[in-house]
Homo-oligomer: A and B are copies of this chain.
């Protein structure tokens, strides 16, 4: 089965937003063996929508349409679809009740534009949207399937996950495909690729390896296609185990996991508590950790100590230390980690101080210089890093490096190794 995506919205074409929906949909379809042939991003224009629908229908059996379902006048998707299918729109009572409930819950007044959100194509099956006011729609027309969804990412994901993917999985014509993703950290992409070059070179033609680098980590993804799913799984498993053995401590885990969720689960299992003391990362590590449901059983809190005075007041860093060595130094980061461990009364405290840029660099302490410390059961470990010039990349890389260092320390101290 071939699929295509049509994303509708002027904001994509003038670059005001990046289309992250299509990549997510592509991943999901791929995981269930449906291949995506093309993604077309077009304007909020009825004529362009019609052209795209007719071209896409000539190439694919499954057409996913996102965007342009909002309550405002610039959203023309529903009208264009109705014209294309030659059908009308009607107000769905169940969706209307849902929209009304959302408004009464929040106490906001409900307007005619909001009621219109409940209008759906006459020939569609409604894909109920628990998370917002615009429902999804499934239309089967001339033996092709059209799935229409709002462009708001969490609403689209909800409709896909709850209503669309389970049904697609039951449809025929899917090619057996098996993916295995691994998370690696603390090792760069090219160094990683060099280390496993022979394993990669020996891969059979039906198994592909992809590198998915992000600041501070690299995901590896094996994709195997063939007729026999069990064989694909066995082959993949054997390659994964070769890679694990080769890269050792840099192998973090299987699946589409994150470093922070891995650490959180590990600490939860071992009854450990955590706090962070963050200067240049500005609360990003705390934010990453607290984005995970259930993090409160491990995470006590963070001190984001941007100014020197606050480093002293909240973490007990000594005035002399900062005067003598500076805020970005081995000595300061050490006292930050110790201070956080004591004041938050936690098993592990991670501290970061550095120069994120673009300003604040000097010849001895350039932009990108970051000190990281982990206070654990056996004292404090300190590391120095030199990242790049870009502020936000530096914040991300420092956060990842700090999490990897915490992981390393816990493994060393607790003498627990995954491999």
Of the candidates B19, B28, B111, B386, which one forms a contact with A22 in the assembled complex, judged by CB atoms under 8 Å apart? Answer: B19
Interface size class, chain A: 35 or more
Report yes or no: A284 in contact with B282, Cβ–Cβ below 8 A.
no
A253 sits at the interface (CB 8 A)? no
Q: Is residue A304 contacting chain B, with contact meaning CB distance below 8 A?
A: yes
Question: Is B290 a contact partner of A287 (Cβ separation < 8 A)?
Answer: no
Q: Compute how far the CA of A28 lies from the CA of B13 in the bound complex, rounded to whole angstroms.
A: 11
Contact A208 B74 (CB under 8 A): yes
Query: Which chain A residues numbered 316 to 360 have a C-beta less than 8 Å away from chain B?
Result: 343-345, 356-360
Q: Are A282 and B290 in contact (CB under 8 A)?
A: yes
The residues of B that contact A17 with a CB separation of less than 8 Å are: 23, 212
The residue among A15, A27, A256, A276 with the most chain B CB atoms within 10 A of its own CB is A15
Contacts of A286 in B (CB 8 A): 282-283, 286-287, 304
Name which of A81-89, A231-239, A388-396, A402-410 contacts chain B.
A388-396
Q: Quick one: which of B14, B111, B290, B304 contacts A290, CB cutoff 8 A?
A: B304
Contact: A386 with B106, CB < 8 Å?
A: yes
Do A71 and B282 touch (CB < 8 A)?
no
Is A113 a contact partner of B16 (Cβ separation < 8 A)?
no
Residues of B near A302 (CB, < 8 A) are: 283, 302-304
Known pairs A15-B28, A28-B15, A286-B304; A291 contacts B194 (CB<8 A): no
Among residues of B, the one whose C-beta sits closest to the C-beta of A385 is B106
Q: Which residues of A from 286 to 321 have beta carbons under 8 Å from B?
A: 286-287, 289-291, 293-296, 299-307, 309-310, 313-314
**Contact across chains for A359 and B70 when beta carbons are under 8 A apart:** no
Q: Are B13 and A19 in contact (CB under 8 A)?
A: no
Across the interface, A287 reaches (CB within 8 A) one of B282, B299, B301, namely: B282
* Chain B residues with CB under 8 A of A40: 38-41
Are B23 and A39 in touch, CB under 8 angstroms? no
Alpha-carbon distance A188/B14, docked complex (angstroms)? 23
A78 at the interface (CB under 8 A from B): no
What residues of B have a CB within 8 angstroms of the CB of A284 in the complex? 283, 287, 290
In contact, A74 and B27 (Cβ under 8 angstroms): no
Known: A189-B72, A283-B304. A131 touches B389 (CB 8 A): yes
Tell me whether A141 is interfacial, beta carbon within 8 Å: no
A10 in the interface (beta carbon within 8 A): yes
A344-B310 contact in complex given A10-B223, A291-B395, A302-B302, C-beta closer than 8 Å: yes
Residue of B nearest to A28 (CB): B15
| A200 within 8 A of partner (CB) | yes
Q: Is the CB of B30 within 8 A of A113?
A: no
How long is the Cα–Cα vector from A293 to B355 in the complex, in angstroms?
A: 11
Among candidates B10, B48, B276, residue contacting A210 with C-beta atoms closer than 8 Å: B10
Residue of B nearest to A191 (CB): B108
CB contacts (< 8 Å) of A393 on chain B: these are 154
Q: Does B306 lie within 8 Å of A16, measured CB to CB?
A: no
Q: Is the CB of A23 within 8 A of B27?
A: no
Kindly identify, within residues 93 to 130 of chain A, every residue whose CB is under 8 Å from any CB belonging to chain B: 105-106, 108-109, 111, 113-114
Known: A12-B23, A343-B314. A42 touches B38 (CB 8 A): yes
A/B interface sample: 26 pairs, CB < 8 A: A11-B212, A15-B28, A19-B19, A19-B39, A37-B48, A38-B52, A55-B55, A70-B189, A71-B190, A74-B209, A106-B386, A154-B390, A281-B290, A282-B286, A283-B283, A283-B285, A283-B290, A284-B290, A293-B358, A293-B391, A300-B307, A301-B303, A301-B306, A301-B314, A302-B304, A314-B314
Ranked 5 nearest A-B pairs via Cβ:
A282-B290, A283-B283, A15-B26, A283-B286, A15-B27
